[in-house]
Amino acid sequence: MLLMPRAVLVLLGLVGIAGGAAATDDPGKATAPRTEFVPPAPGSYTLQRIQRVRDAVLLDSTGRTVKLSALTQGKITLLTFFYTYCVDPLGCPFAHTTLAALRDRVRHDHTLNGRVRFVSVSLDPTHDDPAAIASYAREFTIDPKFEWRFVTARRVTDLLPVLDDFGQDVSVELDENGHATRTVHHMLKMFLIDAHGEVREIYTLSFIQPRMMFNDIKTLALEAG
């Protein structure tokens, strides 16, 4: 459940007073997704081919440039966007906790050995420099045999085409003086990408159902043979 931080409430209050006729554009109460069904068996369905991932140049956690295609091809990839300083319990921490549990399940499935990677792309290249994401990544990259890459961009303008291609919306809340705050709105999305670089599933909060996500990964692995 999303707890609206006090600072945001205060800010929204200010906006309401200052704006007068401004509407309440409420992002909605976030709730953990419910899974009240038995996920279909891996391989019993075909995932849609939603879009190809456009290439871009990003920065890895050592500061080296890396092509996005090197992170979205050759393996089944689960990619998400994050901030190192995000504290929303149903935001980035929820996403990465879910991914960590999935990683453990993938590691114990020998048919997926070496065939799956996770990629986490920072949405704030200014704050999240390579050192920051390297520090953040330590908690999640405990197994050197499992590829979980954390990347950022050299500058915001390098990141924008990536966001645009994935359809990942991001906006920054301003204070009453028009200055950017650290309240960042974005829809939590995870992208399942096949080894050929095609997005095959997109998970927003209602869809982040780990059992289903695992079966989707298995389905792509079975499809590839």
Partner 1 sequence: MRIRRRLTLSLGIAAAICVFAAATQADETCNSPYMSGLIKGQEDFVHVWTLGVPGMGDGSDKLVTVDANPASKNYGKVIDKVSVGGRGEAHHMGFTDDRKYLWAGGLDDSKIYVFDVGTNPAHPKLVKTIGSLTAKTGYVGPHTFYALPGRMLVGSLSNSADKGGTTGMAVYNNKGEFVAKYDLPTSTIGHVKGDGYGYDIAVNPAKNALLTSSFTGWNNYMRDLGELIKDPEAMKHFGNTMVMWNLKTMQPQQILAVPGAPLEIRWALPAGHDWAITATALTSQLWLIKRDAQGHWAAKDVAAIGDPAKVPLPVDISITADAKGLWVNTFMDGTTHYFDISDPEHPKETYSKHTGAQVNMVSQSWDGKRVYLTSSLLSKWDKKGKDNEQFLRAFHWNGHELTPAFEIDFAKEQLGRPHHMKFSANPTRMASLVSASLR
Sites for partner 1 among residues 112-171 (CB under 8 A): 123-124, 126-127, 155-157, 159-160, 163, 166-167, 169-171
Among candidate residues 98, 90, 44, 95, the one with its CA nearest the CA of residue 211: 98
Determine contact, residues 65/107, Cβ cutoff 8 Å: no
Choose the stretch contacting partner 1; rule: CB under 8 A; options: 72-80, 100-108, 130-138, 174-182: 174-182
13 binds partner 1 (CB under 8 A): no
In the complex, least distance from residue 116 CB atom to partner 1, rounded to whole angstroms: 19
Q: Which is nearer to partner 1, 20 or 225 (CB)?
A: 20
Q: Count interface residues toward partner 1 (CB under 8 A).
A: 83
Residues in contact with partner 1, shown as a per-residue x/- string from 187 to 216 under the rule CB under 8 A: xxx-x-------x--xxxxxx----x----
Phi-psi category of residue 153: left, alpha or beta, with phi > 0 → left and psi -120 to 50 → alpha: beta
Phi, psi of 19 (to 5 degrees): -80, -25
Selected from 13, 19, 63, 114, the binder of partner 1 by CB under 8 A is 19
Interaction residues for partner 1, span 26-65 (CB under 8 A): 26-31, 33-37, 39-40, 44-45, 48-51
Would you tell me how many other CB atoms lie within 10 Å of the CB of residue 49?
A: 11
Neighbours of 189 (CB within 10 A): 19
Token representation of residue 110: 């020998």
Please identify, among the stretches 79-87, 99-107, 109-117, 130-138, the one whose residues bind partner 1 according to the rule CB under 8 A: 79-87
CA 120 from centroid of its chain's CA atoms: 6
